[in-house]
A and B are shown apart, each in its own frame.
Chain A
Amino acid sequence: MKMKSMLLAAAVAATMGATPAFAELVFPSLSYRTGPYAPNGIPFADGYADYLTLVNERDGGVGGVMISNPECETGYNTEKGVECYESTKGEGSGALIYQPLSTGITYQLIPKVTADGIPLHSMAYGRTSAMNGKVFDWVFNYPANYWDGATIAVQHAKDMSGGDLNGKKIALVYHNSAYGKEPIRTLEEKAKTEGFELMLIPVDHPGQEQKSQWLQIRRERPDFVFMWGWGVMNAVAIQEAANIRFPMDHFIGIWWSGAEQDVLPVGDGANGYKSLNFTYVGTDKPVFADIQKHVVDAGKAAGDGSNIGTVQYNRGMYAAMLAVEAARKAQELTGKTEITAADMREGMEHLDVSDDRMAEIGMPGFGPAVSVTCANHGGSGAALVQQWDASAKKWNAITDLIASNRDLVTKLALEDAAAFAAENNITPRACN
């Protein structure tokens, strides 16, 4: 009885003495650490989480407010992704930004975040026309989108062909899904203006068996193959390309088809394969020393540290950095440290991460400088080309950032956004 009273008293005392919950900046992670796409999902989620942990541990959060990063496992499954969104949007003082790392989930969340007023950042994936901020108020896809990627891949192929693609043949090997089909329209437009022939070669999920597709490529001998793949499809495609002895330097993947796990299983055969990328690969930046000291050595890393410096890990870090900078901007604009989702959107629409700012936070040249406006939610659209060195087992950037054909991309995005607005009775807002 005495013990029971003591416990009760302790509980009451604890309740009385409890301070109100600390304000937090809630950045939920809709991650996938299980399932067929886990090898890609894990390093991205680790990079995202570790950067946020670094900001908490090193800087005491953003403007003195700590960041919380509740994770919800989606398994790259769209339905689970929506469930995760619903279950995390009310966490703490409310979610401020979502980064689902899935085009399928992004498509499903667009109407939901618009209704709930929570920013969605589908960084270089998702619905391309979401770059039009007048129609997609709550959706952002900076620093680049798939249509940017398509024009950059074409530009690189053109540079390799002496500035002329007339009469050339380009095959697009793509994941037969909303994601994989994204670049088709842009490539069709480019085929008309550049005079190349476009071959479309879809691959069904998961892409474990691609013999038919590569026999077709072998027969038709395209000059270049572009790939919009994800997961095991990438490794199998690169293996099949090596098997048929397709010249690997003429095989160019989008940024989601160019991570270590896509090329390592192929061994030496993957040597020379290229992909687009928009983030730094490696650990030779000051921020990594901080991550080692404040996150890894402190035992607070999301993973075991083996992914640090890889393509997807660094991309996750870059996404987290952009979220942190947007929150910082929102605090600056509103003059308050505890911001709402609407404030966060303001921060994102005024985001201006310059090269100098990246150098200041220990990430010089980590990715393209990002400048976002109310009308342009898509950033600059620039990306570089990297090439795999199989003997050194590393990616090497072989170009500087290549500018996207933004005239074409913007034109197509405006058309698509206008169609979306008409279908959904949206009146585009004025961005003055």
Chain B
Amino acid sequence: MSPALLNFIEIFMNGLMAGIMYSLVALGFVLIFKASGIFNFAQGVMALFAALTLVGLQTGQVPFSHLINAIFGTDIHNWGEGMNTVLAILLAMAIMVALAWAIERFVLKHLVNQEPIILFMATIGLAYFLEGLGDLMWGSDVKTLSVGLPSGGSFWWEDVTREWAAAGSEYFGMYIDLLDVSATVIAIILVTALTLFSQYTATGRALRAVADDHQAALSVGISLRTIWVIVWSIAGFVALVAGIMWGSKSGVQFSLSLIALKALPVLILGGFTSIPGAIVGGLIIGVGEKLAEAYVGPLVGGAIENWFAYVVALAFLLFRPQGLFGDKIIERI
């Protein structure tokens, strides 16, 4: 094969894997929107908060230590060497469940039957609150996150693909990031687990019932409040996974919350109510922006991938306003 074709394949594959990373963030939005009709503006900050909590537990950081030291004049920062990664992930998950309960108890419960825009505004407030809480609990310094996932380019893949190039051509092999491969595997497991959960468990069926019709679900005895806690907990879990994957790439810092910006075009394209839509949307956006950056970027000065993703999403909107897999919008007059 010619190096140009191999380069195209390389960009395409890396685009697919970047798309998976976007899908991980988009999934959290979809879960909450599907179950409660709320566009959760705080999803990106939840990923940041989850990752901060995980690193804090891993490294044995005392939460609110700056505040405690300032008030009591103490000098405490760590409670020990930290904890095992698996235990830290489980505990971080428990904290995300507690957060989901608190969100339902102190925010959503008081906003039942309010307009969607009011719920959306509440999640904006929640985003700012969580941002501040994360800072206060764990500090705003950049934290290194490692959960033992492999990262860096694959030598093996480079060697294999180098052989594919035409003899005599200058080709260095195809690049693939092992962290992206891990993210792909984890995303597949996550989506499979979510699908099985929603199809084959009583709670999953209750979630789908609420997603289909709140009033009908209430009439058969499904507790809306319990369902909201469950769905926000699952979204918290997805946020934790997204936080781990993105935090492993760049360290855990405030910018992690901005990954939500990457999920928006995915949601527009895939639809706000479809889990497969979030995955396929992510893949299309990932491939589209990477190919655009590589082949169109040099013609227009580069750095086009961010806005190009939105252009692709908007183009889809013109033809399918509900997104690729979203529920069809039917207005009866």
Residues of A within 8 A of B192 (CB): none
Question: Which of A32-40, A113-121, A161-169, A328-336 contacts its partner?
Answer: A32-40
Q: Does A399 contact B (CB under 8 A)?
A: no
Chain B 133-169, CB-CB to A under 8 Å as 1, else 0, gives 0010000111111100001110000000000000000
Residue contact B254 to A211, C-beta cutoff 8 Å: no
**B249 and A212 contact, CB distance less than 8 A:** no
Whether the Cβ atoms of B251 and A235 lie closer than 8 Å is yes
Within B161-194, the residues touching A (CB, 8 Å) are 172, 175, 177
In the complex, the chain A residue whose C-beta lies closest to that of B141 is A39
Q: Is the CB of B14 within 8 A of A215?
A: yes
Q: Is the CB of A206 within 8 A of B142?
A: no
B60 at the interface (CB under 8 A from A): no
Which residues of B have CB within 8 Å of A231?
A: 255
Contact present for B302 and A36 (CB under 8 Å): no
Q: B250 is contacted by which of A203, A204, A213, A265 (Cβ under 8 Å)?
A: A265
Size of interface on A: residues with Cβ below 8 Å to B: 42
Give chain B interface residues in 1-48, CB to chain A under 8 Å. Answer: 7, 10-11, 14, 18, 21
Contact in complex: B294, A267 (CB < 8 Å): no
Is A283's beta carbon under 8 Å from chain B?
Answer: no
Chain A residues whose CB sits within 8 angstroms of the CB of B11 once the complex forms: 212, 215
B320 within 8 A of A: no
Interchain CB contact under 8 A, A267 and B146:
yes
- 27 A-B Cβ contacts within 8 A? A33-B140, A34-B131, A34-B254, A36-B254, A39-B140, A42-B141, A200-B302, A202-B303, A204-B303, A204-B306, A208-B250, A208-B259, A209-B18, A211-B290, A212-B14, A212-B289, A213-B293, A215-B10, A215-B175, A235-B251, A236-B249, A236-B250, A239-B249, A239-B250, A265-B142, A267-B146, A306-B141
As a 0/1 sequence over residues 240 to 268 of chain A, the CB contacts with chain B under 8 angstroms (1 = contact) are 00111100000000000000010011110
Measured CB to CB, the residues of A under 8 A from B are 33-36, 38-39, 42, 176, 200-204, 206, 208-209, 211-213, 215-216, 218-219, 221, 231-232, 235-236, 239, 242-245, 261, 264-267, 269, 299, 304, 306
Instruction: Select the residue from A39, A201, A261, A269 with max chain B CB neighbours within 10 A.
Output: A39
Residues of A close to B131: CB separation below 8 A: 34
Tell yes or no: B315 within 8 A of A by CB: no
Q: What are the 3 A-B residue pairs with the smallest beta carbon separation, nearest first?
A: A265-B251, A202-B303, A212-B293
| B73 adjacent to A235 (CB under 8 Å) | no
| Bound form: Cα–Cα A332–B143 in Å | 46
B253 and A201 contact, CB distance less than 8 A:
no
Residue of B nearest to A305 (CB): B75
Please tell me if the beta carbons of A265 and B7 are within 8 angstroms of each other in the complex. Answer: no
Cβ-based interface call for B66 (8 A)? yes
Instruction: Tell me, yes or no, whether B305 is within 8 Å of chain A by CB.
Output: yes
Report whether A218 and B175 are in contact in the complex, using a CB–CB cutoff of 8 Å. yes
CB <8 Å contact, B153 and A243: yes
Q: Establish whether residues A261 and B141, one from each chain, have CB atoms under 8 Å apart when the complex forms.
A: yes
Taken together as a complex, chains A and B put the C-alpha atoms of A243 and B250 apart, in Å, by: 12
Contact of B303 with A216 in the complex, beta carbons under 8 Å:
no
Residues of A within 8 A of B142 (CB): 39, 235, 261, 264-265
Is B276's beta carbon under 8 Å from chain A?
no
- CB nearest to A219 among chain B residues: B7
Asked whether any CB of chain A lies closer than 8 Å to the CB of B246, the reply is: yes
- Contact check: which of A201, A211, A242, A299 meets B302 at CB < 8 Å? A201
What are the residues of chain B within 8 A of A39 when measuring CB–CB? 140-142, 253-254
Please tell me if B258 contacts chain A, counting CB pairs below 8 Å.
yes
- Shortest B248–chain A CB gap in Å is 9
Q: Nearest chain A CB to B173's CB is how many angstroms away? A: 10
Q: B288 → chain A, closest Cβ, in Å?
A: 12
Q: Which residue of A lies closest to B10 (CB)?
A: A215
Decide: A232 near B253, CB < 8 A? Known: A39-B142, A304-B69: yes
Interface residues of B in 217-276 (CB under 8 A from A): 246, 249-256, 258-259, 262
**Residues of chain B with a CB closer than 8 A to A208's CB:** 246, 249-250, 255-256, 258-259, 262
Chain A: CB-nearest residue to B175: A218
| Given A33-B140, A236-B249; A202-B302 close (CB under 8 Å) | yes
B80 at interface, CB cutoff 8 A:
no
Residues of A within 8 A of B144 (CB): 264-265, 267
Q: Are A38 and B290 in contact (CB under 8 A)?
A: no
**What is the bound-complex CA distance between A203 and B144, given in angstroms?**
22
Q: Which B110-142 residues sit within 8 Å CB-CB of chain A? A: 131, 135, 140-142
A-side contacts of B153, CB under 8 Å: 243-245
- Known contacts A215-B294, A239-B249; decide if A38 and B306 are in contact (CB<8 Å): no
In Å, the complex CA distance between A232 and B143 comes to 12
Which of A206, A239, A245, A264 is the one whose CB lies under 8 Å from B255?
A206
Q: How far is the CA of A261 from the CA of B14 in the complex (A)?
A: 27
CA distance A289 to B119 in the complex (A): 53
Tell me the minimal C-beta distance from B246 to chain A in angstroms: 7
Q: Contact at A211–B253, with CB atoms within 8 Å?
A: no
- B14: chain A residues within 8 A (beta carbon): 211-212, 215
